Structure 1
Amino acid sequence: MELMVRSSFSDPGSFFGLMSMCAAHRAVLASQRSGNWDSVLTNDPDYCMMRAKSIQEMSAKVRDPSRRLSNEAFDTIINLLTGSLIIGEFSEVHTHLTGLKSMVDLRGGITDESIRSSSMLSAIITTDIKAASGLMTKPVFPLTWDAQPIPSEIQQRIRPLASSPLNRLGTGFSANTFLSPALLKIISVLRDMVFFSITYQTNPTVIKPGDQDFFRILNCEAEHQLLGYIYGEGSPNPEHNLHPIEAVTRVAFICYLNHFLIVSPSSSGLGRALTKHLKTALDGCKLPLLVGLPNQNFGLYVWALFVGAQGALGQPERQWFVERLARVAMICGWQSWEQISKLMAEFFFVVALDSLNWRSIWDEAMTGFVISESEELEFPSLLGTGALSLT
């Protein structure tokens, strides 16, 4: 990023691309204050002007054989792509990503030395992954390095003592029979990432200088794997083959990475897209289906609802997550925050760090919720009986 900023001082395309990113951030903040996403974002004059100038400069580079594959051309299109992600113009994201893929191929591919040895590789991979998360598709580019196991020396510093209640963290995932071995393998890595985050916030003195860079790369690997592991040979629509519980868990973890471990503002285009993807996955896992599954699946489902509600702060969809949480609580007979916090501790929830935000979501769900007549008919044997109580 530092080199991309530096190139903006000497190249008009890089400059206007960087300015379009800045204008996109400003437009998102303005839309957050007004609550009127679409009109503010699509009509923001500064963003529209900077984007137009950046596209004009990019077009000039494409017409010039000596500049079409230059580092400055890559800077320009990556900035354009990032600005579209921030705003939430995903048709443009797809267009710019297609152009970036063509440029990389013409330069010899993502593993070519001219790309690997430059500052562009990290920007290309990161932007591709974030675009894939927003579009909920497979990343265009493969990772150019082999995944490295977490060194035992780091694990010893970040993992809790054997007697710590934090060892329950993630056990609700590993015990779930509807999650595939591929997803559980990724979750085991994510568990150590959560332990690192906990350690960084509660005991930063044990963190060494290289730890943050290691886990930044690990975060990139994990998100790439979550996006891509479902795409097997000859599987054009792999999402249709996933069990609804696995589909919810996969999307919830992609949201968790972006909202909790790396902060993507809920009002950004990526944040809003992730919220909609998680709502779609949760809506596809129907409550009547959950009733017929082992009871612990309600715990995983509720964890995903909390992730969605916190990530949707300030968005219209937040109320949907809160109301769905209230419905599930009524079905399961949950009445107190203590019941919920004990259950959530088996997933990725840390009382000392997350309790304040999640307690407010729970209180919101429990305030003024009224069940409809149709829902009374849908669950006549469960409502009001606590038949699915997990305590």
Structure 2
Amino acid sequence: MELMVRSSFSDPGSFFGLMSMCAAHRAVLASQRSGNWDSVLTDDPDYCMMRAKSIQEMSAKVRDPSRRLSNEAFDTIINLLTGSLIIGEFSEVHTHLTGLKSMVDLRGGITDESIRSSSMLSAIITTDIKAASGLMTKPVFPLTWDAQPIPSEIQQRIRPLASSPLNRLGTGFSANTFLSPSLLKIISVLRDMVFFSITYQTNPTAIKPGDQDFFRILNCEAEHQLLSYIYAEGSPNPEPNLHPTEAVTRVASICYLNHFLIVSPSSSGLGRALTKHLKTALGSCKLSLLVGLPNQNFGLYVWALFVGAQGALGQPERQWFVERLARVAMVCGWQSWEQISKLMAEFFFVAALDSLNWRSIWDEAMTGFVISESEEVEFSSLLGTGVLSLT
């Protein structure tokens, strides 16, 4: 990023691309204050002007054989792509990503030394992953390095003592028989990432130089794997028979990465897209499917609802997650926050860090919830089948 900023001082395309990113952030903040999501973003004059100038400069580079594959051309298109992600123009994200793929191929591919030895590789991979998360598609580029296990020395510093209740963290995933070994393997990595986050916030003296860079790369690997593991080798199409519980867990984990382990504002284009993807996955997982199954299935579903509700803070979709949470609580007979927090501790929930926000979501779900006549019939049917209760 530092080198891309330096490039903006000498190259007009890089400069206007960087300014379009800044204007996109400004437009998102303006929409957050006004609550007017769509029109403020698409009509923001500063973003529209900087974007137009950046596209103009990029077009000039493409027409010039000596500049079309220059580092400055890559900086410009990556900035354009990032600005589109921030603002939420995903048709443009797809267009810019297609252009970036062509440029990388013409340069010799993502593993070519001219790319690997430059500052561009990290920017290309990261931007591709974030675009794939926003579009909920397979990343265009493969990772160019082999995944590294977490060194035992780091594990010893970040993992809780054997007697700590934090050891329950993530056990609800591993106990769920509907989750594939591939997903559970990624979730085990996420578990250590959560432990690192806990250590960083509660015991920062245990963190050593280099730890953050290691986990930044690990974050990138995990998100790439979550996006791509459902695609067979060489296939552009995802696994057609993904269990709804697995689909919910996969999307919720991607949302968790972007909302909890790194900062992706809920009002950004990426944040809003992730909210909609999670809402779709949860909506496709019918409550009737979960009836009669072990607690972990309803617990996992509720965890995803909490992730969605917190990630949708300030968004119109937040109410959907809150109301859904109230429905599940009614079906399961859950009445107290203590019941819920105990169950959530088996997933990615840390009471000392998350209770304030998640308790407010729970309280919101428990107050003023009114069901329709058709929903009452549905709930009566579900309750009559002997749905689990949590004590």
TM-score (norm 2): 0.98
* Aligned equivalent of 1:265: 265
**Cα contact 1:190–1:222 (8 A) shared by 2:** yes
Deviation at 1:233, TM superposition (A): 4.0
State the distance in 2 between where 1:112 and 1:313 align.
42
Deviation at 1:387, TM superposition (A): 4.1
State the distance in 2 between where 1:107 and 1:324 align.
49
**Cα contact 1:332–1:386 (8 A) shared by 2:** no
**Cα contact 1:239–1:247 (8 A) shared by 2:** no
State the distance in 1 between where 2:103 and 2:355 align.
47
Taking the TM superposition and a 5 Å limit, the aligned residue runs for 1:86-105 are 86-105=86-105
Deviation at 1:285, TM superposition (A): 0.1
Q: Structure 1, residues 240-275: CA drift from partner, whole Å, max 9, x if none?
A: 320000000000000000000001000000000000
CA RMSD of aligned residues (A): 1.3
**Cα contact 2:169–2:349 (8 A) shared by 1:** yes
State the distance in 1 between where 2:373 and 2:230 align.
39
Deviation at 1:372, TM superposition (A): 1.7
Deviation at 1:292, TM superposition (A): 4.1
Q: Structure 1, residues 129-161: CA drift from partner, whole Å, max 9, x if none?
A: 000000000000000000000000000000000
- Unaligned stretches of 5+ residues in structure 1: none
Deviation at 1:381, TM superposition (A): 4.5
Q: Structure 1, residues 188-234: CA drift from partner, whole Å, max 9, x if none?
A: 01100000000000000010011000000000000000000000147
**Cα contact 1:334–1:386 (8 A) shared by 2:** no
Q: Structure 1, residues 327-373: CA drift from partner, whole Å, max 9, x if none?
A: 00000000000000000000000000000000000000000111221
Q: Structure 1, residues 61-111: CA drift from partner, whole Å, max 9, x if none?
A: 000000000000000000000000000000000000000000000000000
State the distance in 2 between where 1:296 and 1:102 align.
45
The range that moved more, 292-301 or 68-77, is: 292-301
**Cα contact 2:232–2:239 (8 A) shared by 1:** no
**Cα contact 2:288–2:382 (8 A) shared by 1:** no
% identity of equivalent residues? 96
Taking the TM superposition and a 5 Å limit, the aligned residue runs for 1:101-116 are 101-116=101-116
**Cα contact 1:332–1:382 (8 A) shared by 2:** no
The range that moved more, 148-157 or 380-389, is: 380-389
- Unaligned stretches of 5+ residues in structure 2: none
* Aligned equivalent of 2:314: 314
State the distance in 1 between where 2:21 and 2:339 align.
44
Q: Structure 1, residues 269-305: CA drift from partner, whole Å, max 9, x if none?
A: 0000000000000000011111143332000000000
TM-score (norm 1): 0.98
Alignment coverage as a number of residue pairs: 391
Question: SS of the counterpart of 2:52?
Answer: helix
State the distance in 2 between where 1:354 and 1:156 align.
24
Deviation at 1:380, TM superposition (A): 1.7
